[in-house]
Every structure is written in structure tokens, then in C-alpha cells.
Amino acid sequence: MDFSDRHVVVTGGAGALGSAVVAALLEAGATCHVPCFDEAEAQRFTLRQHKRVTLTVAGNLADEAAVGRAYQGIAPLWASIHIAGGFAFGPLRQAGFAIIRQQIDMNLLSCMLCCRAALNAMTAGGRIVNIAARPALEWRTGAGMAAYTASKAGVAALTAALAEEVVKDGILVNAVAPSIMDTQANRAAMPKADYALWPKVEEVAATILFLASPDNRVTRGAIVPVYGKS
């Protein structure tokens, strides 16, 4: 897949999955734009010194002004990959309003605002890839994390609806739905799990890369399961 001379935004690019996606994009020749929440996150990003990486300290991507800063001056934009989000576990009856609102803002609202900004920066077609989650497709597996599940199901619905809306403009919109991925944070949270069953971030990144690439000419509106063996 050749991303030479193509500009790609990767939200959440400083995280485990995001870093794998940015690394793969750079290897394929892309110029990557990575919005960070704050300066500390920008400093943690291991690829920040790469000549084809532009970091922006944008702030909270659930805020319209922050999204404007993240996408300012990027034209023409080829692809926008929306990995930024958050997770909250616990029964809904114990969830405070702040947690519920946080899940909606971090996962659904930020994705929707970034999709809108990306569409306005794409002048000659392009690709959008969102990040849903396994519970977004298999709702009953979201027991104990209902707010998260609902917000990610919203991302899946947004993806399918938007794909129909913009296909006439040459823009293909898709999403991936990972299960629990093999990251240091997840291993620490679940030390007794069988990590061999979890998909690696590089494997999930490979699927994202295809959906965002010029090689993807026909796939749109898909919510692609990336579960590994789990």
C-alpha cells in the first residue's frame, strides 16, 4: 500500500494502537498529523521527531474548537483515522452522570466531530476509519460496561450512515471493532488472561491501514471485527 504524498490524521496516535498505525503509515510513505491532548502526551509519543510527523496539542477532541485546531491547514486530506476514546467499566446503576457523559463525549462525540472536520478537509475523495469495539456488534457482551457499549454502538451506526452519505464524493467510511487487544495496560489489568488469544496492535493496525488506503476501492459502511482468536 502506497501512501506517498498523502496526508493522514490519526487521533489517539500516541497510544498503543495509534502508535502502531502511525508507524505503519510512515513506512508506507504517509505524512501523519497527530493531535495530542496536552504537551505531556506529545512528549510521550515515540515518533514525534520523525520528519513526516506533525504533532498538534489540540486539547479535548469532544470540543469543537479543539477539533478545529487539529485539522487546521491540512488540505488536501486523504485519510482520517479516529482512535481517540476512552473506557469505563461498571454497572450503569452505579455510574455517575459525569462517567456517562464522558463515555459519550470521548467515544461518540469526538468521532463525529472529527469525521465532520475530515470531510471538510477532503477535496478529492478520501478514507475515514473509525474505531468501534466488539460490544458495539455484540451488545450482550457489553454487560457491566453499558455506557461504553452504547457509545461505541453509536460509532458503528455513525460509520454505516455516514458511508452512505458521502460515497458519492469518493469518500469511503469504515470502522474496525477490536476485542481486547494485547497491550501492556490490558495485560496489567488482566494478569491471568491468555494473551495469545488477543489481537496484537500491529495486526489491528494492518486492517486499519488497508481500509484507509487507496487500495481499498469498494469497501464502505463496514464494521470489521478484529478479534484475533478471542
- Rounded Cα gap, residues 180 and 198, in angstroms: 6
Is there a domain that residue 1 lies in? no
**Residue 166 structural domain:** 7-226
| For range 133-145, the mean pLDDT | 97
Flag whether 218 is in a domain. yes
Question: Does any domain span residue 112?
Answer: yes
Per-residue pLDDT reduced to its tens digit, 151-180? 999 999 999 999 999 999 999 999 999 999
**C-alpha grid cell, residue 113:** 466531530
Angle of the 64-71 helix axis to the 110-121 helix axis, nearest 10: 40
Per-residue pLDDT reduced to its tens digit, 27-85: 999 999 999 999 999 999 999 999 999 999 999 999 999 999 999 999 799 999 999 99
Q: Is residue 150 part of a domain?
A: yes
What is the tens place of the pLDDT at every residue in 77-126? 999 999 999 999 999 999 999 999 999 999 999 999 999 999 999 999 99
Rounded Cα distance between 123 and 109, Å, is: 24
Inside any domain, residue 2: no
Domain at 32, CATH number: 3.40.50.720
Question: What is the number of structural domains in the chain?
Answer: 1
- Identify which of 214, 3, 35 has the alpha carbon closest to the alpha carbon of residue 118: 35
103 within domain boundaries? yes
- Rounded Cα–Cα distance for residues 193 and 16 (Å): 19
Tell me the catalytic residues. Answer: 148
Residue 50 lies in a domain: yes
The single residue listed with the C-alpha cell 487539529 is 70
The three-point CA angle 117-119-124 to 5° equals 135
